[in-house]
């Protein structure tokens, strides 16, 4: 599976410009199997008042992603966008398959209190998996990475790859680099971390970096071989060896 991370620093509040940039870069990455955008790519992280920038029920974003996916015959993990639904605001990831259909949605579960996200966004309350080209893919957003029990739930549900759009500050780069490797190793999954600030990564189940970006606008691409994961699990299956009898 050929995966491309579309990395660019969105201009805060410049929705039209950000949609244009995303369109240009998606087209440039169209030969991939899966393209992933970063967190809040259409607005930047995050303009205020948030409600003024919310996509009502995600309709504009859905139309955009579905059009690109169908036109280029590619699966798109649509990063995340600000969505208003039933009077509530969510940080929502929309996933589009090759047929131009919405295949899954996910609302950010862990809200970053340091940035007061809980004051403007409603938290999601369930994990989300989607099958793309026969591969089971899990979804998380940025701060979710810091919660191992949450990522473990996604892995236990059968995820082979976990896609994580983010707007992670490079001031906290070192812990993030440790966490992406740890989550990959302990769950024996591929981690695809798409970061608007740069230093995006694609990590294999051994914690090895398959690809890492620089800090500017970039398309980061790597081939993922799912057979490699199965060989690793055959050798040592961490999840099967868990002892659930411990008090």
| DSSP secondary structure string for all residues of 186-242 | HHT-EEEEEETTS--EEE-TTS-EEEE--SSSEEEEEE--HHHHHHHHHH--TTTT-
11 is an active site residue: no
108 is an active site residue: yes
Q: Kind and range of the H or E element at 105?
A: strand 102-107
Active-site choice (39, 117, 160, 201): 39
CB 38 within 8 A of CB 7: yes
Which residue(s) pair with 105 in the sheet? 94
142 is an active site residue: yes
Tokens representing 228? Answer: 């490699």
CB 46 within 8 A of CB 13: no
Tokens representing 71? Answer: 């036109």
CB 159 within 8 A of CB 137: yes
Active-site choice (66, 93, 142, 181): 142
Closest CA to 202 of 210, 194, 10, 87: 210
Q: How do strand 190-195 and strand 161-166 relate by DSSP bridges?
A: parallel
Q: Which residues are catalytic?
A: 39, 108, 142
């Amino acid at each position: 599976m050929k995966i491309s991370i579309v990395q660019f620093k969105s201009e805060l509040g410049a929705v039209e410009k950000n949609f244009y940039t995303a369109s240009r870069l998606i087209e440039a990455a169209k030969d991939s199997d899966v393209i992933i955008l970063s967190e809040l790519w259409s607005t930047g992280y995050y303009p205020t008042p948030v409600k003024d920038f919310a996509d009502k029920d995600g309709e504009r974003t859905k139309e955009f992603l579905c059009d690109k996916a169908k036109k280029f015959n590619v699966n798109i993990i649509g990063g995340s966008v600000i969505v208003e639904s039933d009077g509530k605001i969510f940080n929502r990831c929309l996933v589009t398959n090759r047929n131009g259909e919405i295949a899954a949605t996910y609302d950010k579960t862990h809200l970053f209190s340091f940035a007061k996200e809980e004051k403007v966004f409603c938290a999601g309350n369930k994990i989300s998996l989607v099958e793309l080209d026969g591969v089971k893919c899990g979804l998380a957003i940025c701060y979710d990475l810091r919660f191992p029990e949450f990522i473990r739930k996604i892995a236990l549900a059968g995820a082979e790859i976990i896609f994580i759009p983010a707007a992670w500050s490079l001031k906290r780069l070192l812990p993030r680099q440790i966490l992406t490797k740890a989550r990959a190793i302990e769950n024996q999954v591929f981690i695809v971390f798409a970061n608007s600030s740069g230093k995006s990564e694609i990590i294999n189940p051994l914690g090895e970096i398959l690809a890492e970006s620089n800090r500017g606008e970039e398309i980061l691409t790597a081939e993922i071989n799912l057979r490699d994961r199965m060989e690793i699990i055959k050798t040592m299956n961490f999840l099967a060896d868990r002892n659930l009898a411990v008090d």
